[in-house]
Amino acid sequence: MALSKEQILSADDMGLLEVAVPEWGGSVFVRVMTVGERDSYENEWMVNKDRGVANFRSKFLQRVLCDEKGELLFTPTEVDKLAKKSARVITRVWEAAMKHNSLTDEDVEELAKN
């Protein structure tokens, strides 16, 4: 059965993932980025491939950490605050968020090459 434009646009495909973070006293939710958000993130990688992207984990998490309704917790101006958190904890949350967003280590390596 072919889907209509309305069916595609109204489908809820932005699933949430709950990630336990005992160091912070609870858990966080991670949402799937929109294709526009992912394109923007990947474009930042490609534009800055020679020098790298500062706070790339924090910038990614800013785009996906949300409340139980899917509303983002952090604004782009708060990336530096996330960057001050424990690397061990942020890396664990980032890895879960990457997997939830179907981004792999190979994707990151490919972005670094392009």
- Report pLDDT digits (tens) over 91-113: 999 999 999 998 865 655 555 55
What is the residue extent of each domain of the chain? 14-113
Higher confidence at residue 72 or residue 48? 72
What are all long-range contacts of 43-52, with beta carbons under 8 Å and residues at least 24 apart? 45/108, 45/111, 45/112, 45/114, 46/111, 46/114, 49/111, 49/112, 49/113, 49/114
DSSP sequence for 76-109: GGGHHHHTTS-HHHHHHHHHHHHHHTT--HHHHH
pTM of the full structure: 0.80
23-37 pLDDT per residue, tens:
999 999 999 999 998
Task: Select the CATH number that applies to the domain covering 14-113 from these four: 3.30.465.10, 3.30.1490.20, 3.30.2220.20, 2.130.10.10.
Answer: 3.30.2220.20
Q: Is the pLDDT of residue 59 over 70?
A: yes
34-52 pLDDT per residue, tens:
999 888 888 877 776 777 7
